[in-house]
Amino acid sequence: MGKGTFASGNTNRLSRRQIAWLVANEIPDGSYVNLGIGIPTLCADHMPEEKEILLHSENGVLGFGPRPEEGEEDADLVNAGKQPITMLKGGSYFVHSDAFGMIRGGHIDIAMLGAFEVSGNGDLANWTTNNPTFPPGVGGAMDLAAGAKEVWVLTEHQTKDGSAKIVNKCSYPLTSARCVKRIYTDLAIMSIGDDELIVEGMVEGMSVEELQQRTEPKLRLSDSYVVLSAPDL
Catalytic residues: 58
How far is 230 from 189, CA to CA, in rounded Å?
13
Q: Please tell me the number of Cα atoms within 13 Å of 211 on its side-chain side.
A: 28
How would you write 169-225 as a 3-class SS string? CCCCCCCECCCEEEEECCCEEEEECCCCEEEEEEECCCCHHHHHHCCCCCEEEEEEE
Measure Cα distances from 150 to 81, 103, 191 in Å: 21, 11, 12
